[in-house]
Amino acid sequence: MTSSQLLGISTLGYLVASALYIATLIFKTKKSGIVASIVTIITFLVQTAGIGLRWYESYHLGFGHAPLSNMYESLVFFSWAIVIFYLLLEVKFNNRLIGAFAIPFAFISMAYASFGKGITQEISPLIPALQSNWLIAHVITCFIGYAAFAVACGLGCMYLVKSSAEDKPDAGLIGTLPGLTVIDDIIHKTIIFGFLWLSAGIITGAIWANSAWGTYWSWDPKETWSLITWFIYAATLHARFTRGWQGKRIAWLAIIGFVSVIFTYFGVNFLLSGLHSYGSS
Amino acid sequence: MSNKKNSIWSFFASVKLALFVLFFLAIASVIGTVIPQNSPPDAYIQEFGANMARFFQILDITDMYNSWWFISLLIMLALNLTICTIERLPNVWRLVVQDNLQTDIDRLAKMRPGKEILTSVSLDEAADRCRASLAENGWRAKEAPRDNGILLFAQKGPWTRFGVYIVHTSILVIFAGAMIGSHFGYKGSVMIPETRSADTIFSFNNEEPIKLGFEVLCKRFTLTHYANGAPKEFRSDLAILENGKEVLTKSIVVNDPLSYKGHTFYQSSYQSYKKFLVSLTDNQTKQTESFLIEPGKEIKWPAEDVTFGIINREMTETPFLYKYKVWFKDSTGIAEPFWITDGDTITVTRGGKDYTFALKEFFATGLQVTKDPGVWYVYIGCTLMLLGLMVAFFLSHRRIWVYIKQEGDTTSVLLSGNANKNRPTFEKNFDAVSRSLDEKIKSRS
């Protein structure tokens, strides 16, 4: 078995899990939900093994490094982080229907990693700028934050779907979703969690930049966009804490915030130029 | 306070302003990521046309993160944070230090979560059991007699109410650090050829030379590659010289700079000259000479009657590491060539004579030099921010009151609690206390 085979299987596994979670939502069948969870957990274990094996393989190639160094590896880790975050939510809130709005993100991330244009899957050695322990701290903190924001965005969509169908009583599949106040509460908690990790991600990035280049902040497009994302979520939290924003407004902000995350992640690499260019292939 | 509460004060004390400033900072920041920053003026005219370029110039969009209007937004944010904190801190302080044993008993009865237990045990006995029950559950209670009864009070984490202010202060600390850095520090660069030293660097801002007050010597620069041709390591062996004497040496690579007297030297670039450094020693006479040579040229060392030159090169088995063919003749007249790998030192024998011959490609190392006395404030601010966020998000001020009162033959025990955040978790804790209290009071002594 090679790591790319294991990661290929995980792509497929998340596709199946996404389908099962969506089926559970539509057909209200309890059993398919349990199967979806099982498939997700098994796929997650396979993916974890794949990431571990890729790490091991890099040592075999003579330049061992954690598999967190390029676009492909970050996408795999992004999907991994979404799944573990979702599984914890599933256990904590004992609700499988959230899966239909979270696991597809994990699948899309893996599918894009595998089939996206210009994404190389090759394990390549680290250029001097990336040879730092801050690489691991920076990538892990950022992507845990991103994963939480992805789930918050999925929950935001879920909230909007549910609230738009509120007027029609007992509207089929919508009726099986958790209550609006519950969703609202989970969105809020997820954003808080993501915000803490995003802050840590920006800070570890700044410390790393200072140790590599002697500047902790240089208004590089990637840095600036991460700060824009931070401003959006900071504003969201203030709107909720001090002005009592709830429900639809917060759901929309969770979606807008994630659009900013996605732009920070991809848009900057593909549309703008800057210090993070090595993350683009 | 009332004289301060003019309209400007309340403008800066509002959270609405914070929301607007965050929103505008986000929008404004986008501009600088789309329009290239600090390009030469002609580049803007070419890309956006003369009119747009003039417009950019007027609004400082070509260097917008240092423009008056962007800095003003940041100052607004700082003022807003400061004034919000000054405005709200006194109230929070009162909540943290207030004597909760003075709390109105009627309010306790209305508080949620709450629970009332009636028992036939005496007031003192009930109070004892309540004290024990609270202590068992990790709540250290204070008490006071109130209206013919006893009020017990215990709390956890009153200081966590400061969490959000720690976060706000941390942002101000980071701003302060950034200002200290930009006023008392500088950034520059210097290119130092191997075997040479420099005592002056050139500022990034205006290309002005800046005297360091000491010298930096580049002893050696080495560049290594991976098999695929990507650079593996840029390494400079540096030494700090004070009055010509070495006081510190360090081999620096990217991500591992050298610091001395508030200055930090970062490996940032290098320059290749297609020249070679040769060091040649006559092992008999111990005479040594260094040469900077170009390939294909004949070099003479008249003192020793030696002539040599590089005549060819080939890649070694290590990718991108070259070996050089050197033609070498001395007074013996033997002119046999030999191969030497870049960076190596070998012994050359000619008749009865030995020479030590060292050769390496000649580079200059490019160093970025930073003096930033504010960076530690920035780091302290960052640490405070993370701590503050954790306190603000995950910890709460939890309070429990127990009021015990005799009413005829029965004793009533009123348990009430309150948390400023994370109420579901608190309710679980409260239930645990409530159950344990219930058991204790109802048990026979």
Please check whether residue B431 touches A, CB under 8 A: no
Nearest Cα of chain A lies from the Cα of B33 at a distance, in angstroms, of 5
Q: For the segment A32-50, what is each residue's pLDDT rounded down to a tens digit?
A: 899 999 999 999 999 999 9
In total, how many domains does chain B have?
Answer: 4
- Structural domain boundaries, residue A252: 130-275
Determine which of A58, A203, A204, A275 to mutate to test the interface with B (most B C-beta atoms within 10 Å).
A203
Whether residue B382 and residue A232 make contact (CB cut-off 8 A), yes or no, is: no
Is the bond leading into B113 cis (omega within 30 degrees of zero)?
yes
- Listed by number, the residues of chain B in 165-184 with a beta carbon closer than 8 Å to a beta carbon of chain A are 178
**Residues of chain B numbered 112-141 and touching chain A (CB < 8 Å):** none
pLDDT at A281 > cutoff 50: no
Asked if the structure places residue A124 within a domain, the reply is no
* Among B40, B39, B29, B12, residue whose Cα is nearest residue B71: B29
Give the end of a domain, one of B49, B77, B95: B95
State ipTM. Answer: 0.91
Measure A217 CA to nearest chain B CA, in Å: 9
pLDDT (0 to 100) of residue A243: 85
Point out the residue among B19, B30, B389 whose CB comes nearest to the CB of A196. B389
Give the total number of structural domains in chain A.
Answer: 2
Token readout for B118 is 């009636």
User: Domain for residue A7, yes or no?
Assistant: yes
Contact between chains at B228 and A234 (C-beta distance less than 8 A): no
Return mean pLDDT, chain B.
Answer: 91
| CATH number, domain with residue A16 | 1.20.120
Q: Does residue A82 register a pLDDT over 60?
A: yes
Q: Do A127 and B368 lie within an 8 Å CB cutoff?
A: no
Q: Which domain holds residue B300?
A: 273-364
- Whether B233 sits inside 8 A of A128 (CB atoms) is yes
Chain B neighbors of A125, CB-CB under 8 A: 226, 228, 230, 232
Residue position matching structure tokens 């809130």: A93
Instruction: Please state the rounded mean pLDDT for residues A156-182.
Output: 76
Q: Return the number of CB contacts < 8 Å for A and B.
A: 105
B299 touches chain A (CB under 8 A): no
Backbone region of residue B229 per phi and psi (left: phi > 0; alpha: psi in -120 to 50; beta: other values)? left
- The two structure tokens encoding residue A84: 């573990």
Candidates B442, B22, B122, B163; CA nearest to A236 is B22
C-alpha A124/C-alpha B231 separation (Å) is: 12
Quick check: B267 and B236 in contact, CB under 8 A? yes
- Asked if B62 and B35 touch (Cβ cutoff 8 Å), the reply is yes
pLDDT digits (tens, 9 = 90+) for B169-187: 999 999 999 999 999 999 9
Question: What CA–CA distance (Å, rounded) separates A56 from A66?
Answer: 9
Contacts by A162-171 with C-beta closer than 8 Å and gap 24+? Answer: A163/A247, A163/A248, A163/A251
Q: Domain with B107 in it: what CATH number?
A: 3.30.310.80
Q: Do residues A87 and A165 share a domain?
A: no
Out of B15, B178, B254, the one facing A242 most closely (by C-beta) is B15
Neighbours of A76 (CB within 10 A): 25
N-term to C-term CA, chain B? 56
Residues B282-325 pLDDT 10s: 999 899 999 999 998 999 998 888 999 999 999 998 888 999 99
B162 belongs to a structural domain: no
B340 and B289, same domain (yes or no): yes
Looking at the structure, tell me whether residues B121 and B56 fall in a common domain: no
- CA angle B328/B331/B332 to nearest 5° reads 85
Cβ contacts of B65 on chain A, cutoff 8 Å: 219
Residues from chain B that touch A134, judged by Cβ atoms under 8 A, are: 255
pLDDT at B3: 54
Strand order in the sheet with B337-341: B299-301, B306-315, B322-329, B337-341
B chain contacts of residue A127, beta-carbon cutoff 8 Å: 230-231
pLDDT recorded at residue B141: 93
Long-range contacts of B91-99 (CB under 8 A, 24+ apart): B92/B161, B92/B162, B92/B165, B95/B158, B95/B161, B95/B397, B96/B158, B96/B159, B96/B161, B96/B162, B96/B397, B97/B158
Which chain A residues are closer than 8 Å to B187 by Cβ? 214-215
A112 and A219 share one domain: no
| Residue B248 sits in the same domain as residue B295 | no
B243: left (phi over 0), alpha (psi -120 to 50) or beta: left
pTM for the predicted model, two decimal places: 0.90
Pair (A167, A212) in one structural domain: yes
With CA atoms as reference, report the closest residue to B269 among A62, A213, A59: A213
Which of A118, A153, A169 is at the close of a domain?
A118
Write down the pLDDT at residue A26: 84
Distances (CA, A) of B285 to A33, B234, B289, B332, B401: 88, 36, 12, 16, 95
pLDDT at A172 over 90: no
Nearest chain A CA: its distance from B54 CA (Å): 23
Single residue among A81, A98, A118 that ends a domain in this structure: A118
Inter-chain residue contact A272 with B33, CB threshold 8 Å: yes
Residue B357's nearest CA partner among B309, B319, B392 is B309
Please compute the mean of the pLDDT values over residues B58-63 and round it to a whole number: 89
pLDDT above 50 for A280 = no
Smallest CA–CA distance from A207 into chain B, residue: B379
Q: Is the pLDDT of residue A103 over 90?
A: yes
Q: What is the structure's pLDDT at A169?
A: 53
Residue A281 lies in a domain: no
Whether A86 shows a pLDDT value over 70: the answer reads yes
Are the beta carbons of B369 and A214 separated by less than 8 Å?
A: yes
C-alpha neighbours within 13 Å on the C-beta side of residue A248:
7
Angle A9-A12-A15 from CA coordinates, rounded to 5°: 150
A206 and B26 within 8 Å at the Cβ level: the answer is no
Nearest to B160 by CA among B434, B436, B394: B394
Euclidean distance between CA atoms B37 and B66, whole angstroms: 10
Alpha-carbon distance B234 to B218, whole Å? 13
Based on the domain organization, do B279 and B358 belong to the same domain?
A: yes
CA B108 to chain centre: 47
Count Cβ atoms within 10 A of the Cβ of residue B92 and give its class: 0-12 exposed, 13-18 middle, 19 or more buried.
Answer: middle
Of all helices (H) and strands (E), which one includes residue B418? Answer: strand B410-419
On whether both A112 and A160 belong to a single domain, the answer is no
Report residue B4's pLDDT band, with 50, 70 and 90 as the boundaries.
Answer: low
What percent of chain B shows pLDDT beyond 70?
Answer: 98
